[in-house]
Amino acid sequence: MRNKTDIAKLAMDNRKRIIDMIYYAKAGHPGGSLSIIDLLTAIYELDVDFSNNPRTRVVFSKGHAVPAQYAVLHQKGFISDEEMHTFRTINSRLQGHPHILDIPETDATTGLLGQGLSLAVGMAIAKKRNNDLHHVWAIVGDGEIQEGQIWEALMEAPHYNLDNLILVVDYNKLSSSGSVNQVINLEPLDKKLEAFNWDVYVIDGHNFDDILKVIELTKKGTGKPIAIIANTIKGKCVSFMENNPKWHSSPLTDEEYKIAIENIESAKEAI
């Protein structure tokens, strides 16, 4: 098993993969990909074993941030170096949202926001009925929680005692429409989820002590569905992207690409 430092450095490598994909495609969603990549890297390292069948599943509901998932799957050997430069091109497997028929390892076709948690609930129910003890992770964006279907699924999971289901909220506070809580206020999000009978943990989504601790907790189980509210920074580790709504979806110029890679390399050296 990789240690905390190894996983943190691997997340930085995945950040570089994200920037590369979006730079060469001249399109994509860097901000939300960079905010979730620390947690996503750790989840795949610590709770997803592709040699197992059945295995833990990851439903990447915030599908527009799929460069983060492609980065992880490239590191795992499911996507080649050459294919990474085909992101968002015609006939490429690497489209702007994950497609399970093209890449089965993505576990779900997502991108229509608000639907992924419902998919994850269905998977978790199936695992329960099949006596499969592996988890189902659902990764959602904070703006996505404003969709009504999310709240139906939030009610459903405790009703079916889905203690194998883990919800991760990438709480970077910015959506395509601006500040999430100015569009529709989610707060107090932790109390709302607790009222729906979830076990809720609020963490720093870039702190690997927090990340590894909560993943270890999920392995032990709590008897309830678990919700992890990960406070994150949109565009994390790239100076001009951090907390800047422009980078929800924007291409990079040559100079911006150079700065972004330098920022990430410096952050990796500091680990």
CA atoms within 13 A on the CB side of 160: 20
Q: Above pLDDT 70, what percent of the chain? A: 100
Convert the pLDDT of each residue in 47-84 to its tens digit: 999 999 999 999 999 999 999 999 999 999 999 999 99
- For the question of whether the overall pTM of this predicted structure is more than 0.95, the answer is yes
Report residue 177's pLDDT band, with 50, 70 and 90 as the boundaries: confident
Domain ranges in the chain are 4-269
**What's the mean pLDDT in 259-264?**
98
CA atoms within 13 A on the CB side of 239: 12
* SS3 per-residue string spanning 13-29: HHHHHHHHHHHHHCCCC
Convert the pLDDT of each residue in 122-166 to its tens digit: 999 999 999 999 999 999 999 999 999 999 999 999 999 999 999
CA-to-CA dists, residue 258 to 20, 130, 217, 242, 265, angstroms: 10, 49, 39, 16, 11
Please state whether 189 falls in left (phi above 0), alpha (psi between -120 and 50) or beta.
alpha
Convert the pLDDT of each residue in 185-197 to its tens digit: 999 999 999 999 9
Report residue 1's pLDDT band, with 50, 70 and 90 as the boundaries: low
From the number of C-beta atoms within 10 Å of its C-beta (0-12, 13-18, 19+), residue 128 rates as middle
Convert the pLDDT of each residue in 223-251 to its tens digit: 999 999 999 999 999 999 999 999 999 99
* Owner of token pair 């809580």: 181
Q: Pick one of 3.30.70.1450, 3.90.1150.10, 3.40.50.2000, 3.40.50.970 as the CATH number of 4-269.
A: 3.40.50.970
Strands 174-175 and 178-179: antiparallel
Convert the pLDDT of each residue in 23-42 to its tens digit: 999 999 999 999 999 999 99
The sign of the dihedral angle between the CA atoms of 49, 22, 261, 141 is negative
Tell me what pLDDT residue 71 has.
98
CA dist 168 and 117 (Å) reads: 10
